[in-house]
Structure 1
Amino acid sequence: MRIKDVVLGLIIILVWGFNFVVIVWGLEEMPPLLMGGLRFLLIATVGSWFISRPQIPIKWLFAYALTLGFGQFAFLFSAMAVGMPAGLASLVLQSQALFTLLLASLLIAEAIQRYQLIAILIAGGGLALIGWSDNGEAMTAVGFGLTLAAAACWAMGNIVNRAISQQGYKAGVGLVVWSAWIPPVPFFTLSYFVEGPVAIADSLQQFSWLSVGSLLYLAFGASILGYSLWSYLISRYPAGQIAPLTLGVPAVGLTSAALLLNETISMVQWAGILLVVVGLILNMRGAQWLAVFRKWKFAEHSGKLES
């Protein structure tokens, strides 16, 4: 990769990793469903002026918006509102890679390789350790479960995205911007019935610069800037070279949460984190390692035959 593109990759990692701290700050003054609706409304109303609508059927906009947009962030914001620490959320959300494997196998008949099954078992064991651990931190079982649900919705969005590309459509960041018109409807509806009109009115009346800054970062930093840079890199380099960048997101998330939110991680949770990272790396690099191993075995076998 060129130096400029390496820098862009680092910007993505920093922006997406710090995103989880910003969510916590936003939740201090806004209920989660209201914050989700305002985030997507801001993306849509501003981004649509600068980014053209992707030429894809409306059904795919709805499918993408309701899975990767509404589903993922309704669960994630709610999880962090009821006790999922920002640092751990940044890691557990990466289980979307494993959910994507499973859903691709079930829904679009993509084969799962043996090394991928091993990766799922390793990372699944790590998630079980994190979920089982109790070190007096704010994490709750409900928060952990909701974060897993957010990861599953992200995975569903990945399947939708894959289906869009398989049908020959090119969406890119336009899909992120124009699909953002849809999530505010379920977000605001649920916010009214779940969080209540009183909580909504209080939040809007007490709107501060912290709320404004959080929404601006979530809308333009994490969404438009992050996905624009991601689309740029993924269009110029092999997916296998770009995908591992997401492993840097939990590192930034855990570090920034420790420094700015005073979050701590227990030894059991660190063990779980290690297993999750090993599983994710095996999932992304397993095919390359297997190819190298087979080449080595073939060379060794050929050498024995010659001797």
Structure 2
Amino acid sequence: MPLRDMALGVLVAVLWGLNFVAIKIGVQEVPPLALTVVRFALTAALIVPFTRMTRQALPWVILLSFTLGTMHFALLFYGMNGVGGGTAAILIQLGVPFSTILAAIFLKDHLGGWRIFGLGLAFGGAAVLAGEPTLPALGPFLVLVLSAFSWAASNLLIKRVSSVTPLAISGWMALFATPQIALWSLLLEHNQVDAVLNASWHLWASMTYIILGSSVIAYTLWYRLLSLYPVSQVVPLNLLSPLVGIAASIAFLGESLTWERVLGGFLTIGGVGLIIYRQSLPRANHKTPPASELERGSWE
């Protein structure tokens, strides 16, 4: 990969890493589900009028609006209301081992000893993070783990809509997810409208970054790289995003660097890296796409 394109891959990882800080700033002012509604409503308004959706892909995109929109993104925002940005950046990496497990179950992808070891490292790191003293409650932690699993499940569905551009998928998925999450916000939250109307410029600056920086710009660059190079060359660059998320959370949010976060992050990121590396190796008589192909899906 040329240096220029590698730099673009690093830029994407930085944009996604900083996104955890932007989300954390947002949920401190507006209830997390309501914030997700605002994000998706604005995203749909920006993308849907300029993209098209095929009749064949529409049912899958509607299903994605639940698994990716409601179950991944809404739970991500909801969980980050009670977990630090650095911890969230690490936990979301569990989407890769979850993808590996789902590929083994549904695509009959052979795991092998090294990838099983990587799974153990990744989930062991998550267990260490669960004991972090700065974690106010276990509930938000488990919500983020479920969010990572929902991302992995969504990647199986994204393969069904390969005929539609990723930007169109993002916009139309946001359109259908908005009323779903709005309903949950009405049931579980209060004073949402007042919070949005009285939000400071920090909220709108973070929302602008989440939509334009993390979603539109980062995804456009990411899928361009995936169209030019093998997944095995592109996906490892994303391992930089949790490191950026941790550093940015310390710098901008004043979070502390506990030994649980260091050890848990090292184990989780190391396990994910091992899984990605082993999946990039050619395997004989491989009749189904490796789980690494699932990693073409969405990140934050």
TM over 0.5: yes
Mapped partners of 1:207, 1:28: distance in 2: 10
Q: Which has the larger radius of gyration?
A: 1
Amino acid aligned to 2:238: T
Amino acid aligned to 2:157: V
The equivalent residue for 2:109 is 110
* Structure 1: 5+ residue stretches without partners: 292-307
**Inter-CA distance 218–54: structure 2 relative to 1 (3 Å threshold):** farther
Q: Percent identity?
A: 27
- CA shift for structure 1 position 249: 0.4
Once structures 1 and 2 are overlaid, which stretch shifts more, 142-151 or 210-219? 210-219
- CA shift for structure 1 position 109: 3.0
Amino acid aligned to 2:93: Q
The equivalent residue for 1:161 is 158
Contact residue 85 and residue 139 of structure 1 kept, 8 A: no
Structure-1-length-normalised TM-score? 0.86
Mapped partners of 1:111, 1:289: distance in 2: 13
Give per-residue Cα distances to partners, 1:57-100, cap 9 Å, x unaligned.
Answer: 2111112221122211111111111x210011011101000111
Amino acid aligned to 2:253: L
Structure-2-length-normalised TM-score? 0.88
The equivalent residue for 2:250 is 258
Give per-residue Cα distances to partners, 1:121-144, cap 9 Å, x unaligned.
Answer: 11111111111232xx24431121
- CA shift for structure 1 position 287: 4.8
- CA shift for structure 1 position 218: 1.3
Mapped partners of 1:279, 1:206: distance in 2: 43
The equivalent residue for 2:181 is 187
**Inter-CA distance 287–22: structure 2 relative to 1 (3 Å threshold):** closer
Contact residue 56 and residue 171 of structure 1 kept, 8 A: no
Number of residue-to-residue matches in the alignment: 283
Compute the RMSD of aligned alpha carbons. 1.9
The equivalent residue for 1:73 is 73
Contact residue 232 and residue 280 of structure 2 kept, 8 A: no
Give per-residue Cα distances to partners, 1:17-49, cap 9 Å, x unaligned.
Answer: 000101111112210000001101111101223
Mapped partners of 1:276, 1:68: distance in 2: 22
Mapped partners of 2:203, 2:11: distance in 1: 23
Mapped partners of 1:104, 1:163: distance in 2: 15
**Inter-CA distance 84–220: structure 2 relative to 1 (3 Å threshold):** same
Q: How does 1:20-39 map to 2 (within 5 A)?
A: 20-39=20-39
Once structures 1 and 2 are overlaid, which stretch shifts more, 88-97 or 175-184? 175-184
1:111 aligned counterpart, secondary structure: coil
Once structures 1 and 2 are overlaid, which stretch shifts more, 281-290 or 21-30? 281-290
Mapped partners of 2:226, 2:26: distance in 1: 30
2:94 aligned counterpart, secondary structure: helix
The equivalent residue for 2:121 is 122
Q: How does 1:1-307 map to 2 (within 5 A)?
A: 1-53=1-53, 56-81=56-81, 83-134=82-133, 137-165=134-162, 169-196=163-190, 199-287=191-279
- CA shift for structure 1 position 54: 5.6
Give per-residue Cα distances to partners, 1:179-214, cap 9 Å, x unaligned.
Answer: 110111111111111103xx1132133133222212
Give per-residue Cα distances to partners, 1:200-245, cap 9 Å, x unaligned.
Answer: 1321331332222122111121111111111101000000000111
**Inter-CA distance 289–234: structure 2 relative to 1 (3 Å threshold):** closer
Mapped partners of 1:13, 1:144: distance in 2: 23
